[in-house]
Every structure is written in C-alpha cells, then in structure tokens.
Amino acid sequence: MTDNNSAGGKCPVMHGSNTQEKADVAGWWPENLNLDILHQHDRKTNPLGEDFDYREEVKKLDHEALEKDMHELMTNSQEWWPADWGHYGGLMIRLAWHAAGTYRLADGRGGAGTGNQRFAPLNSWPDNGNLDKARRLLWPLKKKYGNKVSWADLFILAGNVAYESFGLKTFGFSYGREDIWHPEKDIYWGAEKEWLAPSDSRYEDVDKPDTMENPLAAVQMGLIYVNPEGVNGVPDPQKTAEQVRTTFARMAMNDEETAALTAGGHTVGKAHGNGDADALGPEPEGADVETQGFGWMNPNLDGKATNAVTSGIEGAWTSNPTKFDMGYFDLLFGYEWQLTKSPAGANQWEPIDIKEEHMPVDPTDPSVRRKPMMTDADMAMKVDPKYRAICEKFMADPEYFKDCFARAWFKLTHRDMGPKSRYIGPGVPDEDLIWQDPVPQGETNYIEEVVKQKIAGAGLSLNELICTAWDSARTFRGSDMRGGANGARIRLAPQKDWEGNEPDRLDKVLKVYEQISTDTGASVADVIVLGGNLGIEMAAKAAGHEVHVPFLKGRGDATDEMTDAESFDPMEPLADGFRNWQKKDYVVKPEEMLLDRAQLMGLTAPEMTVLLGGMRVLGTNYGGTKHGVFTDRVGQLTNDFFVNLTDMSNRWEPTGKNSYNIVDRNSGNTKFTATRVDLVFGSNSILRAYAEVYAQDDNEEKFVKDFVAAWTKVMNADRFDVEDRKSVV
C-alpha cells in the first residue's frame, strides 16, 4: 500500500512544467545572479489590479467600526482554538510582535510593512508556531472590511487593540501597510539548512555576539531574536543578555527600549508547552492539503487552552496575565528563581516558594492555579547590570515604564513605515520622533532656471554635479523607506564623512551649494538634485540630445537635531557598482553587491543596466578611475559602454582580482580596463540581453530617454511628501 504522495502504483503522465521549487531551471548554476529580486511583486501577482491604490482605499475605512469589531474578537473564544483565559490578546500581541520583529537595521529588510508573515518561510518558522491560528481568527474581519484594510495593517492593529483591552494606553497607530502577494525573494535569512541549527555558524565566535553575520538579527534560523532557553538552548542568563543586546540593537533598539519591550511583552499572555511537542503535526508549509494551511496540529488539544503546545515553554510570566500592570517586575525581582523543565521538556525558570495568591490561574479552569515561569531572556533582565538598573528605574516609576513601553512598541511596529508623511488614520500621533527621520517641508517659491544658472556659473565639474546628487539619493532603501536625497543629510554626520561620498570633493561642492541656497531660497537638497539634473542635461546635449530632466521642488534640509546619527551608521554604502567602487575586498562578489543596492533602491534590471552604462560614460567613477569607461567621449551621454561591451572585435583578459583588460583582437592593444561589475553586463545572459538593446544603432535616443527616466526615479524615490507620488517615480 502507498500513501497519497507516493508514486508507487500510479500511472505515469506527461508532466512538462516545473511545478516544484526543487525543479528550478537555474539550479544547475547556483552562483548565478538572482535577478528575480528586481522583478518581484509586479502587477501579475497582484489580484487587485494596476489601478488599485491601497493608501487611498484605507482612508475610506470605517476605522472606528473595525476597532470595535477587533475589541469584540478578543474575547470571542473559538472551540477550534480556545483562548487563554477567554482572551486572545496574548496571541494577537505575539502575532503583531513577530510580524514587526523580523525588521533589521542593516538593510531595512523584514518588518511588518508587507504582511509577509502569511507566506513561507515566515509562516512556518518555529518561532511563529500557531500564529496561523491568529491569522485565521482575524479572517472574519478581513473578509468583512475587504480591500479597505490590508493583512499587514490588521496584524499590527490586532496587537494594539490587544494592549488597549489589557488596560494599556498605546502611543498610536498608523494604517498604510500594503500587502505583498508572494514571499520576498530578496531577503537573506541565513545559510542554515535546518530549523534552529546551532548558532555557531552565524558567528565568528558565538561567545562574542557582535560577531554575528550581518545583516542577520536573530541567533538561529527560524527565531525572531534569541533562543528563550539560552545560547544554543543552554541556560545562562548573562550570556543570553549579551545576545539580547545585540539582536535588539540590530533592529534599532537601545537598552532601555529593549528592557521595556521585554517586560511589557511578557506582562500579558503566556507561553505554551503543556504537552508532548513531538506529537505536533508539520508546520503549515509542510502540511498536506486537508489541513488548509494550518500547521502544528495538536492531537491532544481536546478543546482546552491549557493543553496548547507552541514554544515548549509553559506558563505565564505574571499573576494577572490579562492585565497590563507591574506584575512582571513584582515576580521577577520579588522571588528567587531556579532552573526547571516544562512538561514539553524545555528549559525554563520557576520561582522558589511562591505564594499561592501570586500564582496565575489556569487558562481554562479558573479554580486551578499554576506556577508562573521566566525564560532565560527574562532572567537576563535581572542578572545583567545594565538591564537590571533600567528595570529598577521602571519599578520606581510605573508611569515612566508604561510610557517607555508604549513608545517602544510604537517604534517596533512602525519602524519600517518610513517618514511620517506615509502615516494614515486617526491614531497617528502628533509628535515627531527622531527615528522617523523627520524632514521639514522645503521651499517651492523659487525659479528653477535661476538656480540652475547659478550652478552652471559656479565652476563645478560634470563629475562633481552628478556624483553629489547620486551619492545623496543612492541611500534610499525601499525596504524601510529610509534614506534618499530629501533632507540633504549628506551634509550631516555621519554621511558627510562616509568614504564612499569622497568627503573632500563633497565638502567643496556643498560650500558652493549652500551659498546658492542662501541666494535663491531653494533648499540645499533641491540644489543638490538640480545640480545633478543640470549635469545630465549638459552631457546629453554634448552627445546631440536636447533633454529636460524632470524636477520636483520642495525638498527640505534636515538638521543634526532631526537626525539619529547612530541609526544612519549601518546605512553606509560598502560598495556602489554604479560608481565602480568598493570600500574593501569582500567575500560577496561585486556584482552581487550591485544587485543588492539596486534592489534596495527599487530599480528594475533594465533600469540598473541603463543607469550603470550611463554613469560610466559620464565619468562618475569613484576617484576618477577609468574602469568600465568604455568611451573616448567621456562626459557625453552616449551608449558607448554597451557598444564596446558587446563588440566582438574585443576580448577580455583577467589582470588580477576584480581587474580586466579589454583588448583589441587584431592589434593586441589594451583599449579599456574593467571590473567584474562592468563585465557582468556582457557575461550574464539576462543582463546581456538588456545591454544589447542599448547597444543597437537605433536605440541611442531610447538609451538617453531611459537613462533620464531611471535617474529621475532615483532622485524622487523618497518624495513621500508629494500626494501624487506615482507621477514622480
């Protein structure tokens, strides 16, 4: 006898398509560039169509009605997944937290902004166990309110409403997160091939948390932050504290925010491990069709919340787990704790000689009291001197703790939404927060051509004009909507000192631009972009093309006081293939770093191609190097880069690491030099197809037009302050 998935005893059938992930057509060449990351989330996968604008739809939502329904949902326990103490608040907080908690500062990827938790691998991470139930509990609300509210917004709203129902005054809430329709292809979650593999592979030295591989912000595959049982599952609160500090810092949280989030997150709800973890069925993505997307099926649940198994850790942290109070501190610091095992076999801590009245009641049977517990991460708050001092400050001032937690929770759940201009809804707080990267509204009452005339008369080179604008704008990341030219933060620390910005050149140009700003009323940010646009127009004219680069007024100039310098540090570019520069020699190939940058900037493969080819002939290489400058007309916006790259009268010779000569086949003379970032546009079959388009005799004008369009997209990528943003990117 065979099971339903076995081939035994079944008839063969013609099957000509690749219908499983393991049958990837490029699997023969795993080192190839994954250009698919530039073309994900396009209109073909979106069932709502090209004209659907979620940010407009959500403004039509009856916010009050939805939040009323959400409050009612919290206490409407379902037989198929009974609520702890008849309240789903703890589950919904965990849903929101784990949606937001994947965010990492290094590249801005992860976070709650896309509803990605619906899809693999996140929907099947061990740390996300049973959150499939939370999402199904929310389905009636999604069904009712439809396209006017995204799953991404629902996840975070559910956490907010849960805290309010437990008695916390939250800091605020914004709508505006737009759903994706398939898993992100760009996010590197780690190289491990098994869930919860030992941490060692992520670190140069697991005893030194700061050696964790960048940009990762979790200690093991399938976890949000740290292993709650201890480092590699071995309890040691001080070691755990050090990992907690690193993981939270990598998602932009300081020690006080970390302690507040830990305490506030564990003030309500419970962990689940009252049963046999081995009895659970497979995760959602590994389960068969009859489960309908449910995973971790528990044959021993018997309709009782008491019997749930998720993490394997069992118990509540506080005496009143459905009330936001100071109970977490009362128990953690009021008792001594000893190491024990949960019914599911997980390491956890239990209080010594706890008073019966301090024991929470059973989540199903209120006549029974259960011992509370703490994880290794909780004990870290008590053992680590810095965390302990912060907790003692919280205990001395409960209102201060509540405010700190509410603010940290708001930051956690909104960190990847970008500037405040993207916030929507009645719950948006008035206060401007430094982590939102505030930028004042810039002046628009000036004459663009007057500014350009002053720039043209200032004696700056084409390289200085274009590179300054590019370096200012290239910091934009669509992952968390940070960076970009608006704000002119290239004038401020730390950006003004980044090696990739050529500080000496930058300083010279900025002094000129600041005077022009003073003389004309235009912001420095606008002057920077106008300078780049002017350079492009001059280069196009020199090549015989009259073009006007579109320009959008109104950028503002941020100040040091508006800038969280520490959170900008990780945004420093380590390479910029568009300017043929790398800070150091890295394990990652230069062309992969180019691809990563292009994806963060929101570029398509054709846009990446045309921009790089144009930047080369404009002579914008870092330090004025000649690699990839395949032209004898430097400074003219021509398609020469592509013409010479695809010319079969040339051959290519390696001359060292990341160094090549382009040699004339007949004479043997070296015509040009190049790097891998240049030659990949001729060697990669997909990129070569684009390069050939731009090398054609009939596409010179198209090249210029496409370059200007892609350049404008980069310059305007962060203009979220403009209502009709689609018209400027």
Report the pLDDT value the prediction gives residue 364, as an integer from 0 to 100.
Answer: 98
Q: Which amino acid is at 119?
A: F
Across-strand partners of 556? none
pLDDT for 25 equals 75
Please state whether beta strands 650-656 and 581-582 pair in parallel, antiparallel, or not at all (unpaired).
unpaired
Q: What is the mean pLDDT of residues 220-247?
A: 98
Q: The tokens of 104 are what?
A: 């990492």
Please check the confidence at residue 148 and state whether its pLDDT lies above 90: yes
Q: Does the pLDDT value for residue 728 go beyond 70?
A: no
Whether residue 5 is predicted with pLDDT greater than 60 in this model: the reply is no
Whole-angstrom Cα distance, residue 405 to residue 393?
13
Average pLDDT, integer, range 543-562:
98
Model confidence at 7, in pLDDT bands (50, 70, 90)? low
Which tens digit of pLDDT belongs to each residue from 63-98? 999 999 999 999 999 999 999 999 999 999 999 999
Q: What is the pLDDT of residue 22?
A: 74
Q: What whole-number percentage of the chain has pLDDT above 90? A: 94
User: Which pLDDT score is estimated for 1?
Assistant: 38
Task: Give the model confidence (pLDDT) of 312-340 as tens digits.
Answer: 999 999 999 999 999 999 999 999 999 99
pLDDT above 80 (res 9):
no
Phi, psi of 197 (to 5 degrees): -60, 150
Q: Could you give the C-alpha distances from 318 to 59, 122, 256, 278, 375, in angstroms and in order?
A: 39, 29, 21, 28, 12
DSSP string, 168-231: -------B-PPPPSS--SS----S-SSTT--GGGGBSSTTSGGGBPTT--SSSTT-SSS-TTSB
Show the CA angle centred on residue 119, arms to residues 118 and 121, nearest 5°.
125
> How large is the average pLDDT for residues 615-626?
98
Mean pLDDT of 413-441: 98
Spatial separation of the C-alpha atoms in residues 312 and 537, rounded to whole Å: 63
- Structure tokens of 79? 């037989």
pLDDT of residue 2: 42
DSSP state of 696: S
Report pLDDT for 725.
Answer: 59
* Six token digits for residue 205: 């030295």
Residue of 338, 363, 195 whose CA lies nearest to 277: 195
Confidence band, pLDDT 50/70/90 cuts, at residue 15: low
**Section 567-590 average pLDDT:** 96
What is the percent of the chain with per-residue pLDDT over 70, rounded to a whole number?
98
Residue type, 304: K
- What is the C-alpha to C-alpha distance for residues 100 and 114, in angstroms, rounded to an integer? 10
What's the pTM? 0.96
* Average pLDDT value for residue range 437-451: 97
Question: Terminal CA-to-CA distance of the chain, rounded, Å?
Answer: 59
Q: What is the pLDDT of residues 526-546, one digit of tens each?
A: 999 999 999 999 999 999 999
* pLDDT at residue number 378: 98
Distances (CA, A) of 252 to 110, 232, 414, 434: 13, 24, 12, 12
Q: What are 271's strand-pairing partners?
A: 315
Residues with catalytic function: 98
Residues 221-248 have a mean pLDDT of 98
Task: Identify the pLDDT of residue 6.
Answer: 55
- For the chain, the 3-state helix, strand and coil shares in percent, each to the nearest 5, are 45, 5, 45
Mean predicted confidence (pLDDT) in 226-240: 98
